[in-house]
């Protein structure tokens, strides 16, 4: 599993990163790669630990520990150490559909559970994975071959995010006819319009979609499934170019349907003045930025969206960080990121032992860029918006912030973050981006398909399965498990594909 004493001989070295002052000038990826010989040393740090939590994908204390795809991480690392990159790609492909996505956007659950990280720096598994998949593309190893025999079964996948794509990939390889429906104008779901280009170049998505199309997967864009039942005017095609396809049509045409529409119902901030102009949900804002860049072939940067504005980002997670980085690139005058919870510890607390996911302070690329530009971390902890203040034209001009403190609810016993009396503070703001997470699936889709949902509006399924309350309808990804990570979505899509295959054929070899 790598070099037996490698973790003692080699220090962890990460790939080069473009300096903040240079990378904020455009929306291109800024994480580079090490030379192959150096990356082999990084793979050689994988120790013969005996119990590789990196590949376990266990839930420990309510958090994931290790890879949900159960990639055989030590085996892949060992092959990279030996310089056998073709074999490393073959090993990785057995369990993974899209390493090119996770090696860019995954928070690396594998590294957080790495035994080598217990007393030092974990193995650079994420960058090893990037080396493997980019080598495979460069040497024409990545294939999506059309099956030699078709089963005669047809499957519709609603949603082209990572779970939908993973399910479509495996079911097409099995020989089923697969059609993926996407309501946006381009394929990719949140990979396309929820993750900024500097984190995931959209050409990385396009090259995989091209392979899948060549192998027989059909993609239909501008198809908002559920809009027909919602009462959209007319039939066939709406004025905005979206195809109106009824659920009844799909149920008649296909032998199985997979709902992979994501948890795309955003959590709102219900405060006075919420109707002010200049308040957006974060994913809508990020999507508009990306669409503008793609539509102009990166010749037009939509500076008008944030230039010379004081920006407040509500939410301290990955999406909030993406908003910070995007607004800096768009010329914002100031950026403040609000986090309701207290500031995390800088190192693990005794209550958060390895191999649990480390609940520690992390400084992501957006915060790094804000520190470079404005001289301080943009995050303000234990704070939220109490009121949005409008000018005479209805435009947002200020927000009233309020501090929060933890108090125990006497009835439920739960700790809640509640406002501190007299802590209000008014600050200028012409743009607010709400990145407070998602509440679950969108009701117009689940109602159109008539599937049961749970209290969080996630689609209900049988225990440890993907089959919904309807006979031939399945679900996967965030629509099934709630807001989560790309790697979990891929794992869900692969699991749903296996269950659909078994339902259609009476057995599965996926």
Domain chopping of the chain, boundaries: 6-138, 154-264+439-505, 268-436
Sign of the Cα pseudo-torsion (190, 193, 194, 199, in order):
positive
* CA proximity to 285, closest of 255, 270, 305: 305
pTM of structure: 0.95
pLDDT tens by residue, 78-95:
999 999 999 999 999 999
Per-residue confidence (pLDDT) for residue 4, from 0 to 100:
87
- Output DSSP code: residue 392: T
- Output DSSP code: residue 118: G
To which CATH superfamily is domain 6-138 assigned?
Answer: Alpha-helical ferredoxin (1.10.1060.10)
Per-residue confidence (pLDDT) for residue 234, from 0 to 100:
45
The full DSSP string for 274-294 is TTSBTEEEHHHHHHHHHHHHH
Model confidence band, residue 233 (pLDDT cutoffs 50, 70, 90) = very low
Per-residue confidence (pLDDT) for residue 419, from 0 to 100:
96
- Report percent pLDDT > 70 for the chain: 97
Q: Is 327 helix (H, G, I), strand (E, B) or coil?
A: helix
Report d(CA 394, CA 152) in Å as an integer. 57
- Report percent pLDDT > 90 for the chain: 90
Average pLDDT, the chain: 95
The number of beta carbons lying within 10 Å of the beta carbon of residue 198 is 21
Q: What residues form DSSP beta bridges with 453?
A: 459
What average pLDDT does range 229-247 have in this prediction?
65
Classified by CATH at the fold level, domain 268-436 comes out as FAD/NAD(P)-binding domain (3.50.50)
Assess whether the region 154-264+439-505 and the region 268-436 belong to the same CATH fold.
Answer: yes
The CATH architecture to which 154-264+439-505 belongs is: 3-Layer(bba) Sandwich (3.50)
Instruction: Reply yes or no on whether the pLDDT at 363 is more than 50.
Output: yes
Model confidence band, residue 232 (pLDDT cutoffs 50, 70, 90) = low
Q: What residues form DSSP beta bridges with 177?
A: 154
- How far, in Å, are 46, 79, 501 from residue 41 at the CA level? 9, 12, 41
Instruction: Reply yes or no on whether the pLDDT at 237 is more than 60.
Output: no
Report d(CA 486, CA 68) in Å as an integer. 10
| Gap between the terminal Cα atoms of the chain | 27
């Amino acid at each position: 599993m790598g070099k037996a004493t490698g973790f003692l001989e080699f220090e962890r070295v990460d790939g080069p990163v473009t300096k903040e002052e240079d990378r904020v000038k455009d929306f291109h990826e800024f994480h580079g790669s090490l030379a192959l010989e150096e990356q082999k040393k990084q793979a050689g740090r994988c120790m013969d630990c005996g119990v590789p939590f990196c590949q376990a994908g266990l839930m420990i204390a309510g958090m994931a520990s290790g890879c949900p795809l159960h990639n055989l991480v030590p085996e892949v690392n060992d092959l990279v150490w030996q310089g056998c990159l073709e074999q490393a790609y073959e090993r990785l492909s057995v369990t993974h559909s899209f390493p090119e996505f996770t090696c860019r956007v995954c928070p690396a659950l594998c590294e957080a559970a790495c035994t080598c990280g217990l007393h030092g720096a974990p193995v650079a598994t994420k960058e090893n994975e990037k080396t493997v998949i980019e080598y495979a593309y460069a040497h024409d190893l990545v294939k999506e071959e059309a099956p030699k025999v078709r089963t005669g079964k047809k499957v519709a996948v609603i949603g082209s995010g990572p779970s939908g794509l993973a399910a479509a990939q495996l079911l097409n390889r099995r020989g089923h006819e697969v059609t993926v429906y996407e309501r946006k104008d381009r394929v990719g779901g949140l990979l396309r319009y929820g993750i900024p280009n500097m984190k995931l170049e959209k050409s990385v998505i396009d090259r995989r979609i091209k392979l899948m199309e060549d192998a027989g997967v059909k993609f239909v864009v501008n198809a908002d499934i559920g809009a027909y039942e919602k009462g959209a005017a007319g039939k066939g095609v709406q004025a905005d170019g979206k195809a109106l396809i009824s659920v009844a049509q799909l149920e008649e045409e296909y032998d199985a349907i997979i709902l992979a529409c994501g948890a795309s119902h955003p959590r709102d901030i219900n405060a006075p003045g919420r109707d002010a102009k200049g308040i957006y949900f974060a994913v809508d804002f990020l999507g508009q930025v990306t669409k503008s860049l793609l539509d102009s072939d990166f010749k037009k940067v939509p500076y008008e969206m944030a230039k010379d504005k004081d920006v407040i980002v509500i939410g301290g997670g990955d999406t909030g960080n993406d908003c910070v980085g995007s607004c800096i690139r768009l010329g914002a005058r100031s950026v403040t990121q609000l986090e309701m919870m207290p500031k995390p510890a800088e190192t693990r607390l005794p209550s958060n032992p390895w191999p649990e996911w480390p609940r520690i302070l992390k400084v992501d690329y957006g915060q790094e860029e804000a520190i470079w530009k404005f001289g301080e971390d943009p995050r303000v902890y234990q704070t939220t918006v109490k009121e949005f203040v409008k000018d005479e034209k209805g435009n947002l001009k200020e927000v009233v912030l309020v501090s929060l403190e933890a108090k125990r609810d006497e009835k439920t016993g739960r700790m809640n973050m509640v406002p501190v009396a007299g802590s209000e503070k008014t600050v200028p703001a012409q743009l607010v981006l709400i990145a407070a997470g998602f509440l679950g699936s969108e009701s117009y889709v689940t109602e159109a398909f008539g599937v049961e949902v749970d209290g969080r509006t996630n689609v209900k399924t049988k225990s440890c399965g993907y089959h919904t309350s309807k006979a031939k309808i399945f679900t996967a990804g965030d629509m099934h498990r709630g807001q989560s990570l790309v790697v979990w979505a891929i794992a869900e899509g692969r699991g749903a594909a296996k269950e659909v295959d078994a339902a259609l054929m009476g057995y599965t070899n996926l």
